[in-house]
């Protein structure tokens, strides 16, 4: 069979995407490949199809032990003969898998790296035929990355031991440095490189000023994602617990996930997220790698991420199915102060502290940009694009206004406080002085005698905080050492004070009053968009779609599978639109390959024809 025939027959898809066809041809012919593709780009097919075409078993190295069962279940649904070897397995089932491999009865074998590198496993592999090695999540080999797995360093030996077996390394991490490390450490100097665009056009990027993160989050979920699956990232364990409890109290199915939970508890959260509909997980960054749930409709950040790279990885978990999804972030001045403090207090050496500062600065620049968010994000990965039309700044361009005078007022106040030396002050005191607020602290330090007292009464507290944030992001103001959030001037401050550079401020944050209206307008636009998507189905078709979903839920329960492993929403929607009267009419519907046609074809037609009284919506 040709790769295209396999794609159509086994997977039920019509055409390859991006580099898939090239990668597959190259590997089928015996070549090594490094595949950089964004999450949801379709990496799995790049090794699954060559494994089906080449003689022998495709060995897939994956660090995600907790997900192996799901990965295997999903491909088995397609009629692919797959199994896994990892530490969660009892001796009996391990022996069965080993026997199946030796006899050539497996198309795919998933193995955890620490298991693969044992003598007994290497010996086992010598006793069967290997079609290829696929090293998934290959960025785990990078010692500087946050997902480093020491066992990955040993995988270089695969090429030495089996020089004739093609190897693929796959990852969704895009930076130059990681790319280079993968090439070197996995001994893939001869490999062809397939680098895709990292754009995820179906994800709408939005960044808003933080007022009350919990309430903003709840309102975002209730108004835009009620009943849908999502991930909320926070920095601290306590926050994840608190926010999950708050969401639950307001009717959202929300679970906390962090490294403080036991392995069993973590597995349980992961399982519920994958299997139940509409679960929101509130997590630290420990959650999510390799979660291949296609219908995560939003990823929210309620604390400022430490780097653009991490942020992009995390938001990439939304919308793997290609349907409209949101990446939503709120951040405020407090986040900047906190992150700077983390860096100042970290035990790292100077070099790493400077590195962390640079990463954070890039993140702040993304938050404060008045230009296309996606342009800014992709530029970080060396990719240039036109304004995207699907981010907050494209959809609702913030006007910038000349904030030079405001910046000068603020900076001169900071300069005056710096001169006092005895005591250091944070943003609160600076703003109280500018606004002429006679607080106890102002009176005690006689700050009402400063020449800048009251010169900023025309701006609200939150407007001034926005000015502080933007100046921090531009490097024209800094947080002093010591971790108390003290504002200090920088060399760049003086250029502003001397009037040598103009400061353009984003108006949407500078003029907080206009915001309520804008929120409403954005919401209306969004509601219009989803109404249009729903409008693709007539009322009758939509009713059928719901019946198909109810049927799918029953099948998934019965088989102990996540619903999306049975069929994706998009497949059911296509079935509802086609209203087949015979099994043959299901051929060619995306996501229905030969095995699923055989297993579910009759049932789909029966549900469509409305003759099954037994299916009750759950």
Contacts with ligand ADP, residue ranges (CB under 6 A): 13, 16-17, 20, 37, 39-45, 292, 294, 320-321
Q: Which does 16 bind (CB under 5 to 8 A by kind): ligand ADP, Zn ion, none?
A: ligand ADP
Task: Print the binding letters for residues 20-59 with Zn ion: x by CB under 5 A, - otherwise.
Answer: ----------------------------------------
Nearer to ligand ADP, 13 or 246 (CB): 13
We find the least distance from the C-beta atom of residue 21 to ligand ADP, in angstroms, to be 9
We find the least distance from the C-beta atom of residue 282 to ligand ADP, in angstroms, to be 23
We find the least distance from the C-beta atom of residue 38 to ligand ADP, in angstroms, to be 7
We find the least distance from the C-beta atom of residue 564 to ligand ADP, in angstroms, to be 8
Nearer to ligand ADP, 136 or 224 (CB): 136
Is residue 391 a contact point for Zn ion (CB under 5 A)? Answer: yes
Nearer to ligand ADP, 66 or 370 (CB): 66
Contact 113, 147 (CB under 8 A): no
We find the least distance from the C-beta atom of residue 78 to ligand ADP, in angstroms, to be 9
Helix axes 350-368, 373-380, angle to 10 degrees: 150
We find the least distance from the C-beta atom of residue 266 to ligand ADP, in angstroms, to be 21
Nearer to ligand ADP, 45 or 410 (CB): 45
Looking only at the bridges linking them, the beta strands covering 280-283 and 298-301 are unpaired
Which of 108, 106, 114, 59 minimizes the C-alpha distance to 86? 114
We find the least distance from the C-beta atom of residue 385 to Zn ion, in angstroms, to be 9
3-state secondary structure (DSSP) of residue 123: helix
Is residue 372 a contact point for Zn ion (CB under 5 A)? Answer: yes
We find the least distance from the C-beta atom of residue 140 to Zn ion, in angstroms, to be 31
We find the least distance from the C-beta atom of residue 508 to Zn ion, in angstroms, to be 15
Please, which residues have CB within 8 angstroms of residue 491's CB and are 6 or more apart in sequence? Answer: none
Stretch of 5-13, 252-260, 373-381, 446-454 contacting Zn ion, by CB under 5 A: 373-381
Q: Which does 366 bind (CB under 5 to 8 A by kind): ligand ADP, Zn ion, none?
A: none
Please pick, from the candidates 394, 431, 434, 548, the single residue that binds Zn ion as defined by CB under 5 A: 394
Q: Which does 489 bind (CB under 5 to 8 A by kind): Zn ion, ligand ADP, none?
A: none
Contact 308, 362 (CB under 8 A): yes
390: phi then psi, degrees, rounded to nearest 5: -135, 45
Nearer to ligand ADP, 20 or 376 (CB): 20
Nearer to ligand ADP, 209 or 316 (CB): 316
Q: Rounded to whole angstroms, how far apart are CA atoms 294 and 317?
A: 8
Please, which residues have CB within 8 angstroms of residue 321's CB and are 6 or more apart in sequence? Answer: 40, 294, 295, 568, 569, 570
Which of 132, 106, 143, 123 minimizes the C-alpha distance to 26? 132
Across-strand partners of 56?
none
Which of 318, 309, 331 minimizes the C-alpha distance to 377? 309
User: What SS3 string covers 41-102?
Assistant: CCHHHHHHHHHHHCCCEEEEECCCHHHHHHHHHHHHCCCCCEEEECCCCCHHHHHHHHHHHH
Nearer to Zn ion, 98 or 392 (CB): 392
Nearer to ligand ADP, 156 or 294 (CB): 294
Contact 204, 327 (CB under 8 A): yes
Nearer to ligand ADP, 195 or 344 (CB): 195
Is residue 374 a contact point for Zn ion (CB under 5 A)? Answer: yes
Structure-token pair, residue 135: 């090293």
| DSSP label of 148 | -
Contact set with Zn ion (CB under 5 A) = 372, 374, 388, 391, 394
């Amino acid at each position: 069979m040709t790769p295209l025939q396999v794609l159509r027959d086994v997977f039920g898809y019509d055409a390859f995407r991006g580099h898939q066809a090239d990668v597959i041809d190259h590997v089928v012919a015996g070549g090594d490949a490094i595949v950089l593709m964004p999450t949801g780009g379709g990496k799995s097919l790049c090794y699954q199809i060559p494994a089906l075409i080449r003689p022998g078993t495709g060995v897939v190295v994956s660090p995600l032990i907790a997900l192996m069962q799901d990965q295997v279940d999903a491909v088995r649904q397609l009629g692919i003969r797959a199994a896994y070897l990892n530490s969660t397995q009892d001796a009996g089932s391990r022996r069965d898998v080993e026997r199946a491999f030796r006899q050539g009865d497996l198309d795919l074998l998933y193995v955890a790296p620490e298991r693969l590198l044992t003598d007994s496993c290497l010996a086992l592999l010598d006793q069967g035929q290997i079609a290829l090695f696929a090293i998934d999540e290959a960025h785990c080999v990078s010692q500087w990355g946050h997902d480093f797995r020491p066992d990955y360093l040993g995988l270089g030996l695969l090429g030495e031991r089996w020089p004739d077996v093609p190897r693929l390394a796959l990852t969704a991490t895009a930076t130059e440095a990681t790319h280079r490390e993968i090439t070197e450490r996995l001994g893939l100097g001869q490999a062809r490189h397939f680098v895709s665009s990292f754009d995820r056009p179906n994800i709408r990027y939005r960044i808003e000023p933080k007022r009350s993160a919990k309430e903003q989050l709840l309102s975002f979920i209730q108004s835009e994602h009620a009943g849908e699956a999502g991930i909320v990232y926070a920095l601290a364990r306590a926050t994840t617990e608190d926010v999950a409890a708050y969401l639950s109290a307001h009717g959202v199915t929300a679970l906390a996930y962090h490294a403080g939970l036991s392995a069993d508890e973590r597995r349980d959260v992961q399982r519920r997220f994958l299997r139940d509909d509409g679960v929101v997980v509130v997590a630290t960054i420990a959650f999510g790698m390799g979660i291949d749930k296609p219908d995560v409709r939003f990823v929210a950040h309620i604390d400022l991420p430490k780097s653009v790279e991490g942020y992009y990885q995390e938001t990439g978990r939304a919308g793997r199915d290609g349907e409209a999804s949101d990446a939503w972030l709120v951040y405020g001045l407090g986040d900047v102060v906190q992150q700077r403090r983390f860096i100042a207090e970290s035990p790292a050496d100077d070099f790493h502290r400077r590195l962390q500062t640079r990463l954070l600065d890039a993140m702040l620049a993304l938050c404060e940009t008045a230009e296309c968010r996606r342009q800014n994000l992709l530029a970080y990965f060396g990719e240039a694009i036109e304004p995207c039309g699907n981010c907050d700044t494209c959809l609702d361009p913030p006007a910038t206004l000349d904030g030079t005078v405001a910046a000068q007022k603020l900076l001169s106040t900071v300069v005056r406080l710096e001169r006092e030396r005895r005591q250091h002050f944070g943003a609160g005191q600076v703003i109280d002085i500018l606004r002429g607020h006679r607080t106890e602290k102002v009176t005690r330090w006689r700050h009402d005698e400063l020449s800048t007292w009251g010169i900023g009464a025309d701006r609200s507290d939150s407007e001034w905080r926005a000015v502080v944030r933007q100046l921090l992001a531009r490097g024209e103001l800094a947080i002093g050492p010591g971790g108390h959030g003290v504002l200090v001037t920088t060399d760049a401050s003086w250029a502003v004070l001397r009037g040598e550079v103009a400061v353009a401020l984003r108006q949407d944050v500078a003029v907080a009053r206009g915001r309520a209206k804008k929120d409403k307008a954005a919401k209306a636009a969004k509601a219009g968009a989803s109404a249009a998507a729903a409008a693709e189905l007539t009322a009758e078709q939509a009713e059928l779609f719901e019946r198909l979903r109810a049927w799918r839920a029953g099948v998934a329960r019965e088989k102990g599978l996540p619903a999306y492993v049975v069929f994706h929403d998009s497949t059911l929607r296509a079935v509802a639109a086609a209203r087949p009267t015979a099994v043959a009419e299901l051929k060619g519907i995306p996501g229905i390959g030969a095995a699923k046609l055989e297993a579910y074809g009759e049932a789909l037609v029966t549900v469509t024809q409305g003759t099954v009284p037994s299916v009750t919506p759950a």
